[in-house]
Structure 1
Amino acid sequence: MVPNASPAPVPVAVPRRRRPRPGFWKSLGPGLITGASDDDPSGIATYSQAGAAFGLATLWTALFTFPLMAAMQEMCARIGLVTAQGLAGNLRQHYPRAVLVGLLGLTFPAIVLNIGADLEGMGAVAHLLVPQVPAFLFSILFTGLLLVAMVRWPYRRIAAVLKWLCAALLVYVVVPFLVRQHWADVLRHAVVPELRLTPAFVGMLVALLGTTISPYLFFWQADMEAEEMHHHRGRAVVVDKSLLHTMQTDVNVGMLSSNVIMFFIMLTTGTVLFPAGLRDITTVEQAALALRPLAGEQAYLLFAAGIIGTGLLAIPVLAGALSYAVAEALRWRGGLDRKFRQAPGFYATMFVSLVAGVLLDGLGISPMQALLYAAMLYGLTAPVMIAIVLHLANNKAVMGEFTNGLAANVLGGAALVLMSGAGLLLLLFQLAP
C-alpha cells in the first residue's frame, strides 16, 4: 500500500493555564468500555468452551494476549486522537479506495455474525428464565430494545446502566477458590504456552485470539477517541504526552480487566466442567453449570445475567463500529450522540446489521456454536486489520510526530505473526485430508 501525499496533522493550540488532571476513575472511558465489550456473549462462550474442552491447557492465552491487544488498541486510540477520525476515515483519506472496500468487505460479515450470535445467546438464556417464551422471540425483543435505546440515548448513558449487569461476570473470579485447586499447576499453565497440533485445539486457539484481538474493537476504539476530540472542539485541546498517558492508562486498564475475566472463566470451566467429563458445551444450560459451586441449582440465573448484560453492552459496540466505518467511508454524518434525523445513514446501517444478525437465528446453528464461529471468523480476518493499523500508525503523513515507537511495532508485529500463523494452521487443518 502506498499512501497518497498528505500534510502531517497540525495540533490545535492549547491554552497556557493548567487544568486539574482528572481522577483515576474519571480518566477511564473508551478503553474501559472497549474492554468490557470484549467479554461479550461470544467471548464468554469461547472461554467456557476452551476450559471445558481442554482444561487448563489454554490458560496461557490470557496472559500472552494482554500486551498484544493492549498495544493494538493503543495504536487505534492514538490514531483516533491525533487525526480526530476513525480508521475508515483515515483509509478513505490516505489510501486507495480498494483498501477500504476490501476491509469493509471482510469486516461486515464477521460483525453481523457476531451480532447474530450474541442475540441468539441472549435469547437462549432469557428462554431459560422464562421457558414459555421461545428464544427467537426474546432475540427479536432485545433487537427492538437496543435499536430504540441507541437512537434515543447516547451510548455512555446506556453503558453507565448496563455495566452493573456485567458485574455478574465477577462470580467467575470467586468459583475457582471454592473448588480444590492445584495452584502450582494453574501457575504453570498460565505462564507456559501449550500447543497441540490438532484441528480442535488450533480451532479453539484461533477463536480465543479472535475474540480478544477483535477487528471491530479496532474501529470502535479509534472512533470513540475521535468522538472525544470532537466533544472538545469548542475549546483548545492538544495531543501531548499527558493526553497520551491518560489514554494509555484507560486502554491498559480496559484490556487488563477483560483478560482477567477471560482467565477466570477458563479457570472456572476448566476446573468444574472438564473434570466432570462435560467436554463439549452445546447449550447455555451446560455452560451455566460451571457456576454451580457458587450458586447451586440456580447457577443459570447468574449466567443469564452475565450473558444478557454483556450482550446489551457489546451489541451497540458491534453495530456502532460498523456504522462508524460505513459512515466515514461514505462521508455520512454519524455518531451515537446524534439524533436519528441528524445521521439517518449511520442509524440505517445499524438497523440493517441488527436485523441481519437476528435473521441468522434461522440457520439452525446452536447459540454456543454461533458464538464460537464468530470468534473463529475474527481470528481469520484480524491479520488484515492488524497489518493496516500498523501501516497507519507508522505513516508520518497520517500521524506526524506520533508514529509508533519500537515497543508498539514489536508487539504489533508479534500480534500479526501470531494471528497469521494461527489462521494458516486452521486453514491447513481444514483443507488437509
Structure 2
Amino acid sequence: MIHSWADQRSFTLDGHYDDVYFGSLAQKIEEIPREYFFLIDILPTIAYPRALRKMIRVRKPWHLFEEYLSFSDVTAALEISSRVTKHPVFRHTLLNLDISALISEEFLSDQQGARTELSYLYYAVGKRISALHDPASFCYTFENHIWEKMIIRGLKEAGNPRVVGYAHSTVNSMELSYSLSSLERDIIPLPDSILVNGKKPKEILVSSGFDEARIHIVGSLRYGDLSLPAPERMPGTGKNILVILSADINRSLEMISKCGEAFRSCNEVSIIFKPHPIQKLSAIVTLVQQLPGQFSLSTEPLGTLLDATDVVLYSDSTASVEAVARGIPILHVKSDFLIDIGIFEESRIFRSADSPDQIRTFTFDLFRFARGSPVEFRAAIRDLFSPVDDNVLIQEISSGIES
C-alpha cells in the first residue's frame, strides 16, 4: 500500500494519476509483481469534487483516506481533543535558558488548529486498514510528523506490516521534526525502514539521532537523476525571473515587496510571481498590481513557467529543486522576520540574499549561468539526490511481502 497525496499536479491531461512524491515507485512495484493500491489524501489545494471526478477516471488501483473513517472516529477525535485543551504549567529549560514562553505559545497555536483531531483520525485509519487488508508493506512520505507516528501505531496495533518511509525531498538539520531524542527513540512509532534521496540526507538523519541501520539510500524517486545534464529547454530572453512564493502569506508579501524594490527600475527584465497552490490570491494580486509593468502574476503550471525561466528566486519552496533539475540557477531570498531554513541550507554552493540590493546583484550574476547550471551545482546536488537504485528499492519494499 502506498499512501500519497493528490492535487492539481497529480493528474495528466489524458486522465492518468501521476504521483508527485513517489514518481516511478508504482511501476517498480508492478515489476515484483504484487498487488498494490494507493491510499490517497486529497489536498485542500484542489476542490474535493473536482479531484474525485479525476480520481474516478484513474486506472491505477486506489482508495481514498476517507473510505476508512467512520462517524464514531470523528466523535472520538473531538472527545479526545477536548481533554487536552488546558496547557500544563511548568518551567521548560534548554541549556539553562528558560523557553517556557516559547513552549506555551506553541501549545496555544497548536490548539487553534485541528492537528490533535487529525492525528487521531490517522490512527483510526491505520488500524482499520490493517484489520481489513493486512498489508505486507505500507509506504508513505516521511517527514517525521505526528500524523505519521499515529498511522504507524494504528497499523501495528491491528497487524504487522513493514512500514517504509520515503524522505521525498531534502532533509534539513534545522528542521526539528528531523531530530530524534534518545529518550523517545524506543517509545515512539517509527518506520521500519527510512528511504532517503542521497548521502547527505542519510548523514543528517544519523547525526540527528536516527538509527543508521534503518536508513537506506534509494535515490531520487521524485526528481529523477539530477546528476544528469540538464534537459534542453526553450531559450528565454536571457532576463526572465521566476519568483516562487511561499505558502505563508506574510513571507509571500515580503518576497513581493523585496523583489519589487530590487527590480523596480530594471525595465529590461521580466519578473513573474508564482503563488503557492494553497495561497489565496487577493492580497497578492493587490500588491503586484502596484508594481511596474515588468512584474506579473501567473498561476500557470510550474513546468510551463520554468521552460522560459532564466533564474528562479525562492524562499522555502521545493520548486527550487525542480529548477535545479532543469539546469536553472536559483537564489534563496532570506526573510527579515523569520528564521530562514532554506531547502539547500546544508549546501554552501547555493547563494542567499537578504536585501533588495543583494537580490538584484546576485540575480544579474546568475544570468550568465542561464543556459545550464555550473558544474559545482551538479556536484552539490549529487550528494543530496542520487540516481534511483532499483535493487535497494525493491528489496526494502518487498521484504515485508516475503516475510
User: 1 or 2 for the larger relative contact order (CA 8 Å, sep ≥6)?
Assistant: 1
Q: Same fold (TM over 0.5)?
A: no
Q: Larger % of strand: which?
A: 2
Q: Larger % of helix: which?
A: 1
State the TM-score, normalized to the length of structure 1. Answer: 0.21
